[in-house]
């Protein structure tokens, strides 16, 4: 759409809709009434201040700590076929990451404030941490592109499982089974695993990005597809604002793109100040998290990283104990598989030996009849980020069907929202 999205717009090119490519100009645009339908896109970087473990950073990343264990590969814990054979390691992680331990950040509170003011058209998140819900964003305004811990169901008969019983099992470290004794299948949260399809709401609401007057992109490197295509669906002349630690390829090439580099919460506070919302935002956030948590989130990144590193080491030890596999144990094949109904999936498909496999063509999304989530899903989910494959074509805002060649080798995740942490929580389990 228009200018090459990977090219940074020349400073001599004037914006079409904004008075300048700055946050005060974005605030002016909102206050004028022209930015009344706002779409927000979020990734792992929005939750790093909350202390949610990153999945790929060298020291604090979960995968780095799992790599030393007797697994086919670190991501196998989030592979649906491996889960069928060995669910215990996942439930060790689930106990640590389950909603209730972590609290919303200032950025989450800002999105909730947009909803309160009637300005939020839709929030698309790659995270599975439920922090948007906890912050008060209405459920009907949230598309959890990679699922979340909010609901759960039997992996066999797809029957829903009660929330209270799920929490009890997770906190006790037990694997829940279907309430229908005739079925007896295992239950797992509605998180998109490798080997599963994306929720139908994602494809059903893609068009809302094209309806937006303003798109805010917070804490995501935009490397996981099809989520990464959402900014492209915004109409020309409609501002897109990126809050991230580093530039991303898909934002910055349009005349009304604004790029705010640094911790997400810092940039959001700057925008809130320009809007005159500072007091309201800080009060809402304090009500959500309390003084002690607010103080913790404001501490130095170094202290936070040290705490997360210790936590990740203990978590990996717990997974190892749950797995309890001997060196010679054979693991089930956990590579990607195809389904005839073919639902939308993420693009990257790592092979068990750590190499890359080509991603299969990806038809429209379904959930009731899942296809394969080819290894790489959420930012806040267990999946790997990947660069856009060459030869990709998109049919339009309402379709995610693509033609693609095998993806290039995996590249380092772009940092998003916190110093020293790669942006992808791609579990942002988060």
* Segment 382-388 mean pLDDT: 41
From residue 289, give the alpha-carbon distance in Å to each of 25, 50, 282, 296, 419.
30, 10, 11, 10, 22
**pTM check: above 0.85:** no
Note the helical H segments in 38-180. 62-66, 80-85, 88-97, 106-116, 131-135, 163-172
pLDDT at 170: 92
Ligand-binding site membership of 264 (annotated): no
Q: Which of 52-66, 70-84, 380-394 has the lowest mean pLDDT?
A: 380-394
Ligand-binding site membership of 130 (annotated): no
Neighbours of 222 (CB within 10 A): 28
With bands split at pLDDT 50, 70 and 90, how would you rate the model's confidence at 207? very high
pLDDT at 84: 92
Ligand-binding site membership of 183 (annotated): yes
CB 430 within 8 A of CB 146: no
Ligand-binding site membership of 154 (annotated): yes
* Segment 33-53 mean pLDDT: 92
Residue 317 CA, chain-centre distance (Å), reads 25
Q: Which residues are catalytic?
A: 146
* pLDDT tens per residue across span 211-267: 999 999 999 989 888 899 999 999 999 999 999 998 988 899 999 999 999 999 999
For strands 349-350 and 356-357, give the pairing: antiparallel
Instruction: Write out the DSSP string of 197-211.
Output: PPPHHHHHTGGGGGG
Please tell me what DSSP assigns to residue 156.
T
């Amino acid at each position: 759409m228009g200018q090459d999205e990977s090219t940074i717009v020349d400073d001599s090119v004037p914006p079409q809709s904004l008075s300048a490519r700055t946050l005060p100009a974005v605030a002016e645009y909102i206050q004028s009434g022209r930015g009344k339908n706002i779409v927000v896109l979020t990734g792992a970087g929005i939750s790093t201040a909350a202390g949610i473990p990153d999945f790929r950073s060298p020291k604090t990343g979960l995968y780095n700590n799992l790599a030393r264990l007797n697994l086919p590969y670190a991501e196998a814990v989030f592979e649906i076929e491996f889960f069928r054979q060995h669910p215990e390691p996942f439930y060790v992680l689930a106990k640590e990451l389950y909603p209730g331990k972590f609290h919303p950040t200032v950025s989450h509170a800002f999105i909730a404030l947009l909803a309160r003011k009637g300005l939020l058209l839709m929030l698309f998140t790659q995270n599975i941490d439920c922090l948007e819900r906890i912050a008060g964003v209405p459920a009907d305004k949230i598309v959890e592109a990679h699922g979340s811990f909010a609901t759960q169901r039997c992996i066999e008969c797809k029957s829903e499982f009660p929330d209270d019983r799920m929490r009890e099992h997770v906190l006790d470290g037990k694997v829940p089974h279907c309430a229908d004794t005739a079925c007896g299948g295992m239950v797992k949260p509605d998180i998109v695993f490798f080997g599963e399809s994306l929720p139908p709401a994602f494809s059903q609401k893609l068009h809302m990005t094209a309806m937006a007057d303003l798109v805010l992109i917070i804490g995501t490197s935009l490397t996981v597809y099809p989520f990464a295509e959402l900014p492209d669906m915004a109409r020309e002349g409609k501002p897109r604002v990126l809050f991230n630690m580093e530039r991303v390829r898909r934002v910055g090439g349009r005349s009304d793109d604004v790029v705010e580099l640094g911790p997400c919460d810092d940039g959001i506070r700057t925008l809130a100040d320009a809007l005159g919302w500072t007091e309201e935002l800080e009060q809402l956030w304090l009500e959500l998290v309390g003084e002690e948590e607010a103080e913790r989130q404001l501490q130095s990144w170094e202290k936070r990283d040290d705490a997360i590193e210790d936590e990740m080491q203990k978590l990996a030890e717990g997974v190892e104990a749950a797995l309890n596999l001997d060196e010679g144990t054979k693991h089930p094949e956990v590579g990607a598989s195809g389904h005839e109904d073919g639902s939308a999936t993420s693009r990257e498909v790592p092979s068990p030996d750590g190499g890359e496999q080509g991603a299969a063509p990806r038809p429209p999304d379904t959930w009731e009849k899942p296809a394969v989530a080819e290894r790489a899903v959420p930012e806040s989910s267990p999946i790997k980020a990947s660069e856009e494959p060459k030869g990709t074509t998109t049919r339009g805002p309402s379709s995610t069907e693509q033609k693609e060649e095998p993806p290039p080798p995996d590249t380092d995740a772009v940092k998003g929202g916190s110093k020293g942490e790669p942006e992808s929580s791609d579990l942002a389990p988060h």
